[in-house]
């Protein structure tokens, strides 16, 4: 099993509506990409300073399944159309469970 963890920070002018649209797009991914085993995401709870704005944790059976997800047309569209306009920064890590 492979876990994919991503932290996002938004541009100062990212609207609540744009962030909601991104989250809605994320919510649609498991129905479109069968390689996803678990998909959890949400905004930072604002419990500490200096945190990123949003997190995603996704699980896949193996590296090949993760790669199919990463290159899937629905995922690429989400990145290009809903994420890039609001993205200021991104950190990611993948690790085996």
Rounded-to-integer distance, Cα 46 and Cα 65, Å: 33
Contacts of residues 12-21 at CB distance under 8 Å and 24 or more positions apart, as own/partner, are: 12/88, 14/85, 14/86, 14/88, 15/86, 18/82, 18/85, 18/86, 19/43, 19/53, 19/54, 19/86, 21/82
Domain boundaries, the chain: 2-96
What's the predicted TM-score (pTM) here? 0.94
Strand partners, 8: 54, 90
**Chosen CATH of 2-96 out of 3.30.70.100, 3.40.50.9100, 2.30.110.10, 3.30.70.20:** 3.30.70.100
pLDDT score of 48? 86
pLDDT score of 71? 98
Strands 87-96 and 2-10: antiparallel
pLDDT score of 83? 98
pLDDT score of 58? 98
pLDDT score of 92? 98
Asked if residues 2 and 94 have their Cβ atoms less than 8 Å apart, the reply is yes
pLDDT score of 57? 98
Q: What is the pLDDT of residues 24-72, one digit of tens each?
A: 999 999 999 999 999 999 999 999 889 999 999 999 999 999 999 999 9
């Amino acid at each position: 099993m492979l876990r994919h963890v991503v932290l996002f920070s938004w541009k100062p002018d990212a609207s609540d509506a744009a962030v909601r649209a991104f989250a809605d797009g994320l919510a649609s991914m498991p129905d479109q990409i069968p390689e996803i085993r678990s998909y959890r995401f949400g905004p930072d709870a604002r419990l500490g300073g200096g945190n990123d704005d949003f997190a995603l944790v996704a699980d896949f059976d193996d590296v090949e399944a993760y790669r199919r997800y990463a290159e899937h047309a629905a995922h690429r569209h989400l990145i290009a159309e809903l994420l890039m306009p609001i993205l200021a920064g991104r950190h990611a890590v993948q690790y085996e469970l």
